[in-house]
Structure 1
């Protein structure tokens, strides 16, 4: 064989068998006109692949296995890829995936439209889990369609190759034509259709809040964080909808409704308040819940309280504004918990109660040293092994006393006819 032929054969072999750092290499290739191609290549043959929870039949409707080497099935409310009949295992799978949006409420959406053909994808939708429920050690190669960019954290280019998040955690990855904008403290990508006033406000507000939170929590983040701003349907006049998600080092917001088209006091309040909340999650993320059973009121309420203090520290709020915010939370919590415990409210999907009551319980638990000192210590104690409700109550007892910790426990677990009395006792 000639030298040229040997070189061609060697290159072909490298393409067929790329280096796999970890358990799996996942290659996601955008198509400008149809389904995206997703290839899985494993370090070891797989007898079954757990893709995670079935998300309202999303994968069954939008994923199609190429070839006949595997089938997509549902088991115990999870989606699995299993070998085709007659096969015992597989070491690679190719699929065609339609990037259709879906509203999953309190879960991460697989794809979020970002205008001008851009898409924000959540890598956790693609990374399989092990029998122990942990994520496989995965690297990703993400390829944009012609003329596009792939961006995450500080990386941006036509391809993101053999990549993992600097936080070793599932992440958001943007695929589209927009460029990262570096504001000093943040890296932002905004939907091509985002109103100018929103872009300008985030460009100044987000870095100021990040600086305030960094000072309050007394630590810098491991890498410069990302903000992704998506714009939904703006056709409904008067509507002002904000939804957001946070991951380690990143947060995403989707704004919908006609009231976002122009700046107003109400729109500005919602944008700032909710952006500060999502930013607070970036510092909380150094400590994660031990399991899905840990109640959301702990970190959501903590983010509400930290956000208010950051607004004060950054000069956007006065002490009177913070007090008014606590009063709103007090009223909302009392209304949501009439003859219902906080645990039951969370189980019922009453997110107004989770946020408002969580805000009250975090403020009460913090005691005289304040919410920033409480979360600094909470993160320090739980960074290695995660946290649960017992850990929160233990620190609350240390900081605010046994009586306060007992009152928090009661509000969480007992159906009270007059929850306002317990709330007032907590906030004395």
Structure 2
């Protein structure tokens, strides 16, 4: 598969500002009580969300509630049932436990900083519902939620096993089932699509395109994805454990420029794209889309073998590595990759410095610096490879995953990263250089980043006024 040669590097550099959500559903305990949820449109334009419980509890936390939008968009329709916000967690409280509760909701179709878009709209009139937004964790009382101090990851209990039923007029489908007017499926971190369209099945994946997606994209993207999957499987030396699905939702061409956002789910990728730049065939838009798609696909390989990506404070690990691999794959198929790489990393260097001027890297997302984990994490990934003399991000990630598998929660966080780094050959001094970038509030972040690249033997080159120019790039041949 021939990757597109971009002619406007700025387009690719800019898209680092858009951070996809990496949703990780909590695994379910087979011994837990169960619940079901039914959703669908109401006559008044809102939607209903109806929960049914086999063993109701007085308090439930909504598992995906980092953003807190439900307080303004969900309204209880059941007497004695309230929804509120407690220490950053959306909580449902009942005066007395009941078997069934219902809410009237305004479907949120906008992007969230830490979770997938709850309801994705399509130019063709369809809508996709993210099933995991309804997941619940039961509690015996409100004090049990307060004891968490806002940290759902600290729970020993698990998300309730749940079935979702979507009711609507017309076709309702997943990559595994198609039905008319209603469809039921286990909640498994996927989108359920309502509207005209169908999944096309390819080697290793299925693809659902908005009927209004420009033909030059709908016809070319499946073959591109197949090629990208093949390259990633070859570089990692293993296939994904199961087939995936990809959905391309088109937002229309009303906006100027290019708009592209995405979500990496358990075995699915949602791409939300639009803008005038995608209206007609052009190499810049295609390069942008290809780069972004590769980066999303990498996220699926990062969670093989039961690995779970760490939270926002660890985003620099998986986002940075995915970003670096995506650039590697684009550059590896260029006749003259140096100019492209120099340009995108010039922007990344400044982006990383700006992020570190505002605080530590691990607080970047908390501070709204959404591009920081991509930019700084990318440089850390390259320095890591250089320290270990591998120059192979894929091998290092396998080592990282193997060590995470030894932990009780299988989470790839900074502790796993630094342990793996040292076990795989980095010296304590090298480890300390990276740790400082991640954890410290640096007085001279530009110098710290420059020193990291120099210490790693990447031979960074700078202009007379201190701007990043180039460095010793890894071997992208794959040989």
Select the residue among 48, 55, 69 that pairs with 1:58. Answer: 69
Is the Cα–Cα contact under 8 Å of residues 144 and 175 in structure 1 kept in the other structure? no
Alpha-carbon displacement from aligned partner over 1:259-306 (angstroms, at most 9, x marks no partner)? 121122221121111110001001112354575364210010111122
1:3 corresponds to which residue? none
1:157 corresponds to which residue? 179
Q: Does residue 404 of structure 1 match 2:430? A: yes
Q: Does residue 96 of structure 1 match 2:96? A: no
Alignment of 1:178-189 (within 5 A): 178-189=197-208
1:273 corresponds to which residue? 291
Select the residue among 418, 421, 427 that pairs with 1:393. Answer: 418
Alignment of 1:364-379 (within 5 A): 364-366=383-385, 367-369=388-390, 370-379=392-401
Instruction: Report the count of equivalent residues.
Output: 399
2:162 corresponds to which residue? 139
- Secondary structure (helix, strand or coil) at the match of 2:124 reads coil
Is the Cα–Cα contact under 8 Å of residues 247 and 285 in structure 1 kept in the other structure? no
Shift in alpha-carbon separation, 1:312–1:424, aligned structure 2, 3 A: same
2:148 corresponds to which residue? none
Q: Does residue 420 of structure 1 match 2:439? A: no
5+ residue gaps in structure 1? 1-19
Shift, 1:22, TM fit: 4.7
Q: Does residue 78 of structure 1 match 2:97? A: no
CA distance in 1, matches of 2:233, 2:432: 31
Is the Cα–Cα contact under 8 Å of residues 137 and 160 in structure 2 kept in the other structure? no
Bigger relative contact order (CA 8 A; separation at least 6): 2
Cα RMSD, aligned residues only: 2.9
Shift in alpha-carbon separation, 1:250–1:421, aligned structure 2, 3 A: same
Is the Cα–Cα contact under 8 Å of residues 54 and 74 in structure 1 kept in the other structure? no
CA distance in 2, matches of 1:342, 1:317: 34
Shift in alpha-carbon separation, 1:373–1:25, aligned structure 2, 3 A: same
Which range moves more in the overlay, 135-144 or 222-231?
135-144
Shift, 1:362, TM fit: 1.3
Shift in alpha-carbon separation, 1:200–1:290, aligned structure 2, 3 A: closer
Q: Give TM-score, length-normalised by structure 2.
A: 0.75
5+ residue gaps in structure 2? 1-30, 140-154, 460-479
CA distance in 2, matches of 1:301, 1:43: 43
Shift, 1:217, TM fit: 2.1
Shift, 1:335, TM fit: 5.2
Q: Give TM-score, length-normalised by structure 1.
A: 0.83
CA distance in 1, matches of 2:196, 2:167: 9
CA distance in 2, matches of 1:303, 1:188: 22
CA distance in 1, matches of 2:87, 2:357: 35
Shift in alpha-carbon separation, 1:257–1:293, aligned structure 2, 3 A: closer
Is the Cα–Cα contact under 8 Å of residues 140 and 160 in structure 1 kept in the other structure? no
- Secondary structure (helix, strand or coil) at the match of 1:147 reads strand
